[in-house]
Structure formats: structure tokens, C-alpha cells
Homo-oligomer: A and B are copies of this chain.
Amino acid sequence: MKLSKKIQAMELSPIRKFVPYADAAVAAGKKVYRLNLGQPDIKTPKAFFDTVKNFDQEVLAYANSQGEASLLEALVGYYKRIGLDFEKKDLLITNGGSEAINMLMTAILDNDDEVIMAEPFYTNYKTFVGQAGGKMVAIPTTADDGYQYAVREKIEGVITDKTRAICIINPGNPTGKVLTHDEMKLIVDIALEHDLYIIADEVYREFTYDGKEMATFGSFKEAEQNVIIVDSVSKRFSACGARIGSIASKNQELMGNLMKLCQARLCCPTLDMLGAAALYNLDPSYFDDIKKEYEYRRNVSVEALKEIEGIKFGVPEGAFYITCQLPIDNAEKFLMFLLQEFDVNGETVMFAPAGGFFSTPGVGQSDIRIAYVLKAEDMRAGINIIKEGIKAYNAR
């Protein structure tokens, strides 16, 4: 039976496709530190579960296609607290940030239209761009240049007459790069000059370190018709399993068209939206401890990684990922070695081989992404296994 060219061109997620091998390692009696997935071990706020458990209607009915009113109102309040004046009409609730990206690509891309994004990029963007018939064009960055992409020449070097949008994950996944206000302004200027959408994925907004202040593309009034903010409760509130994301934009023509897709899939899960409303109503002080904890885990992880001879990486300024280049030939082969042939006292480790985060052929084969979502001692232990594993792998 025939399959579409576009799905055949897609790839399994490098973050998830090795899970069966990790499960096999566990079945074989090994402990596996899972640094591959951005799944925090931080407790989901009780407010979410309380709201879900207090649901007292007898029929679990469809919700509004735009989103539950209580969640839209909570999101308006959340944005107001960070200085953005989005109203309910400027918001759409989505099935995670993932559906937001999927819908946006459908809304702006025709066949062969292009989206530019710093490489390494969060790999699932490529799948959604491909699903819409478009092409992901990379702004190349590497560990050597600190994964810096906010450079006029670099960005304009890949813009063509088919470029429709620049996608920015800030704070960055998978590099932890956090843009300065000047760097954001540069991107805004370029987007205005070239009539591009700015798809600003700010799901890690609160997680910036070293006193770096949180910034948002939503604050650039001059670009409010270009800017689209993607958010999610997954990382922000450690509620990945709720699958509640959102799109915020002042571009009413775009939002009106996106509603066609929202109505076609009817609605997001009702209970999870109610729970997410409780999350967005939490006092902002909630983030203080979380941010401190992630900054501590980052520091511990960076120190541990520095122990690895020949490693290259930029110290992340936000989010909770580190992309590093390891002194090995191939990260996927190395991961399979760790899961199938190696352990330190019965323990091994899993990370995301980052080759799939690059679209430039051959680039990134020795790169990996680790998520510092586990408590400090687990990060230390996992990274030490990578260190010992490299010696054993290269000594074979």
C-alpha cells in the first residue's frame, strides 16, 4: 500500500526512538538514568490535581474549540503579570505546544515554503514543517561558536523569497541559549524587513539563570502582527502529561484561520484544561524555587561535563538542556553501546543523540542532548557514566 512521500521523509524522534532499548536494559536488570527526555522529576502543583479531582459534572463534555473559558482567563492574567496585554480573542488552547507548532505550519506554509531555525533545533519542528509540505532551513551554529545564531549575516544568509517564518525557541532547546534584548530586537528588525512571522516558542520562559532577565517577543509592539507566542504547561509547571499548550497572537487574520483547525479537531481535553487554569493562576513566586533548583542542576551538570576530556559545549543560560559534542565517532552507536554493552555498577545512562537536531548533512553526528531534569546526584551519576563509557567505547 502506498504511503505519502512526506511521511516517508519524516524520522522517528531521536529523543524517543531509543526508549525500547532503554526499557530492555532495565528488563536486563540495569538502572538507566534517563537524560534523553525533558521530563522533570519536579512535582506537578497540587492545584492541578485538586481541580481535576473536584470536577463534579456527570458528563465529560466537549469544551469550546478555542479553549475552556477559565483557562483562557487564567492565561490572560499570566500574560498580564509578565507585561503582555493579550486578550481572550488573542489566544487559542492547543494539545501541547506540539499541536500549536503543527497548526502554525499548516497556516503559513504552502509546498516548498521555508522556515528558518537555528541548528541544532528541537527536532519535532522538522516533522511539523514537513507535514505542512514546507522545508526547514537551518541557521548553522555549533559548539565552537557557542550556538550563537542571533547574527544578521547568519540569519539573512539563509533567507530566500520562500522564507515565511523564523522559529525561535527562547530560552533554547536543545542548547540553552538565551537571547539578550538586543539580539531579540535584531531578529524583530530582520522579520519586519523581510515580512516574516516570528514563531516564538517560549515554553521555558521562566527558566533563565545567572540573573539573566526573562524576555519575550510579545513585548515588541512594532512586530505584533508578525509575532506568534507558543506556550505550554508541560515544562513551566512540570505537567507534561496534561498536553496543554497555547498560541498567542495579535494577528487576528491568522487567529481566525487557525480557528478552522481548532474546530476541525473539536477541542482539547476538558479536565486537563481546567487543571491548567489552576496552574496559570498560581502565584508567580512558584517559579522562584523551581528556577533555583534548575540552576543548581545546571551548575552540577556543567561541572560534571567539564570532567570529560575532549568534550565541547556552550554553558546553557536557560531552559534545562545541554547540547555537547563528544569525542566519539557516532552518538547513536555510542548510546546503543551504553544501553546494551556497558554499565557502571549495574547503572547506565540514556541521552538524545543530537544528529536529528541538525539538517546540515553529516553535522552533529557526535553531538548529544542531555536534559538536566533529574536531581543533582542523578545528573552527576549519569554524566559520570557517559565519561567512563567514552573511555570504554573508544578503547574497544
- Indicate if A60 sits at the interface (CB-CB under 8 A): yes
Which of B1, B43, B270 interacts with A254 by CB under 8 Å?
A: B1
Q: B133, A106: Cβ atoms under 8 Å?
A: no
> A65 to chain B: which residues have CB within 8 Å?
13, 16
> A98 to chain B: which residues have CB within 8 Å?
264-266
- Indicate if A6 sits at the interface (CB-CB under 8 A): yes
Please tell me how many copies of the chain the complex holds.
2
CA gap between A59 and B44 in the complex, in Å: 5
- Indicate if A263 sits at the interface (CB-CB under 8 A): yes
Supposing A42-B59, A59-B43, A110-B4 touch, asked if A268 and B254 sit within 8 A by C-beta, the answer is no
Known: A3-B257, A4-B110. 8 other contacts (CB 8 A): A7-B258, A19-B64, A52-B53, A60-B238, A95-B95, A99-B265, A131-B264, A242-B271
> A55 to chain B: which residues have CB within 8 Å?
49
Bits for A1-40, please: 1 = Cβ < 8 Å to B, else 0: 1111111101111011101000000000000000001011
Bits for A85-106, please: 1 = Cβ < 8 Å to B, else 0: 0000000000110110010001
> A106 to chain B: which residues have CB within 8 Å?
4, 6-7, 131
Bits for A341-355, please: 1 = Cβ < 8 Å to B, else 0: 000000000000000
> A266 to chain B: which residues have CB within 8 Å?
16, 96, 98, 124, 240, 243
> Interface size bucket, A side?
35 or more
Which residues of A pack against B, CB within 8 Å?
1-8, 10-13, 15-17, 19, 37, 39-44, 48-49, 52-53, 55, 58-65, 95-96, 98-99, 102, 106-111, 113, 124, 127-128, 131-133, 164, 195, 197, 225-226, 234, 238-243, 251, 253-254, 257-261, 263-272
